[in-house]
């Protein structure tokens, strides 16, 4: 029997493509009105907790960052019954103290992506969710505790700058992002975190540091081969962290303010709402719209 209330969605990024600890595991295709997600979802459980695992880039790392359909991914996790989402991503470091191999639980984001659909809402249903604090503090604390419990080194709190990619940053960009106060750099956390908030899914992100980007030395650069090597080194700790995270969940899931965020975000009056858009929002906004 699953833990009361918890269904944890795990979005595995570069370096985490599978979860061997899942029991009763089954890959299931989930259709969404936003297109195809990155892959099927691996349904299963760890102990008594329901888990839904989605590889962000697809099995075999088929999907580049700019083409990840984040709307479909979040919608699919919502349709799969997820109550909360833990995302895991490989990241570059913009700080000397955040060395390769270190895990970092991000709590803020800067968006430098382009041309990625960043919202489920639009003409026919306007919503403005609050993103002042874009991650769930409860999940983030549990995630950091889980890294430590798995034997890893973790930093609690950091600003993640999301760039478009797929190229790594220029040296000038890397130096600029440091001046902006960014600590980590990656290509996938946004619009993922934004969309999770719109879907009323508490979200936390663990960044697995693979490199120092290119700010550190005049001759430093980021090479994919080096990143891949560190990703593989991080993989075992990431899997152990997920298992520990699930073990740390309270036996009862108490409500989060994020669960009802749309109550404070939707502006469009009921009579002006577009039925076609409402139909697409049956999963992400079903609670608010009264759709079962």
| One-letter-per-residue 3-state SS of the chain | CCCECCEEEEEECCCCCCCCCCEEEEEECCCCCCCCCCCCEEEEEECCEEEEEEECCCCCCCCCHHHCCHHHHHHHHHHCCCCEEEEEEEEEECCCCCCCCCEEEECEEEEECCCCCCCCCECCECECCCCCCCCCHHHHHHHHHHHHHCCCCEEECCEEEEECCCCCCCHHHHHHHHHCCCCEEECCHHHHHHHHHHCCCCEEEEEEEEECCCCCCCCCCCCHHHHHHHHHHHHHHHHHHHHHHHHHCCCECCCCHHHHHHHHCECCCHHHCCHHHHHHCCCCCHHHHCCC
pLDDT of residue 1: 38
Distance separating alpha carbons of residues 14 and 188, to the nearest angstrom: 10
pLDDT score of 126 more than 80? yes
Among 11-15, 136-140, 176-180, 254-258, the range scoring the smallest mean pLDDT is 11-15
Confidence of residue 234 (pLDDT cuts 50, 70, 90): confident
Confidence band for 28, pLDDT divided at 50, 70 and 90: very high
Residue 116 tokens, joined? 């990625």
Rounded percentage of the chain residues whose pLDDT exceeds 70: 93
What confidence tier does 147 reach under pLDDT thresholds 50, 70, 90? very high
211 is catalytic: yes
Residues 96-108 pLDDT 10s: 999 999 999 999 9
Q: What is the mean pLDDT of residues 275-289?
A: 97
pLDDT band at 218 (very low <50, low <70, confident <90, very high): low
Given a cut of 90, whether residue 205 has pLDDT beyond it is yes
Angle between helices 224-248 and 137-149 (to 10 degrees): 100
Active site residue 213: yes
Query: What CATH superfamily classification does 7-283 receive?
Result: Nucleoside phosphorylase domain (3.40.50.1580)
- What is the per-residue pLDDT for 236? 86
Q: Please say whether the beta carbons of 230 and 210 come within 8 A.
A: yes
Of the residues 39, 84, 111, 213, only one is catalytic, namely 213
CB 13 within 8 A of CB 188: yes
> Per-residue pLDDT for 216 more than 90?
no
Residues 35-93 have pLDDT tens digits of 999 999 999 999 999 999 999 999 989 999 999 999 999 999 999 999 999 999 999 99
**pLDDT(228) > 90:** no
Q: What is the pLDDT of residue 229?
A: 74
42 within 8 A of 27, measured Cβ to Cβ: yes
Tell me: pLDDT of 196 over 90.
yes
| 12-16, 126-130, 201-205, 266-270: range with lowest mean pLDDT | 12-16
**What angle do the packed helices 70-79 and 189-198 form, to 10 degrees?**
40
- Measuring CA to CA, which residue among 13, 256, 3 is closest to residue 141? 256
The residue annotated as part of the active site, out of 211, 236, 259, 263, is 211
Under DSSP, the state recorded for 127 is: B
Mean per-residue pLDDT of the chain = 93
């Amino acid at each position: 029997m699953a833990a009361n209330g918890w269904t944890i969605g795990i979005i595995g990024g570069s370096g985490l493509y599978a979860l061997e600890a899942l029991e009763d595991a089954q890959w299931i295709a989930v259709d969404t009105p936003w297109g195809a997600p990155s892959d099927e979802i691996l349904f299963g459980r760890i102990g008594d907790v329901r888990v839904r695992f989605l590889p962000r880039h697809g099995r075999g790392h088929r999907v580049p960052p700019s083409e990840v359909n984040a709307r479909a991914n979040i919608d699919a996790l919502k349709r799969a019954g997820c109550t909360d989402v833990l995302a895991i991503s490989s990241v570059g470091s913009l700080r000397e103290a955040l060395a390769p191999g270190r895990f970092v639980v991000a709590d803020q984001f800067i968006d430098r992506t382009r041309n990625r659909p960043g919202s489920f809402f639009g003409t026919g249903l306007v919503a403005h969710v609050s993103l002042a604090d874009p991650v769930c503090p409860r999940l983030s604390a549990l995630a950091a505790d889980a890294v430590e419990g798995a034997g890893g080194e973790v930093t609690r709190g950091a600003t993640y700058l999301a760039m478009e990619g797929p190229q790594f940053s220029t040296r000038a960009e890397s130096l600029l992002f440091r001046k902006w106060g960014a600590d980590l750099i990656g290509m996938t956390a946004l619009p993922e975190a934004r969309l999770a908030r719109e879907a009323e899914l508490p979200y936390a992100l663990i960044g697995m540091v693979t490199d120092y980007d290119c700010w550190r030395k005049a001759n430093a650069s980021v090479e994919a081969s080096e990143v891949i090597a560190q990703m593989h080194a991080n993989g075992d700790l990431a899997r152990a962290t997920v298992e520990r995270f699930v073990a740390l969940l309270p036996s009862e899931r108490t409500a989060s303010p994020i669960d009802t965020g749309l109550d404070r975000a939707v502006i469009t009056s009921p009579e002006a709402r577009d039925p076609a858009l409402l139909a697409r929002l049956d999963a992400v906004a079903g609670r608010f719209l009264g759709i079962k």
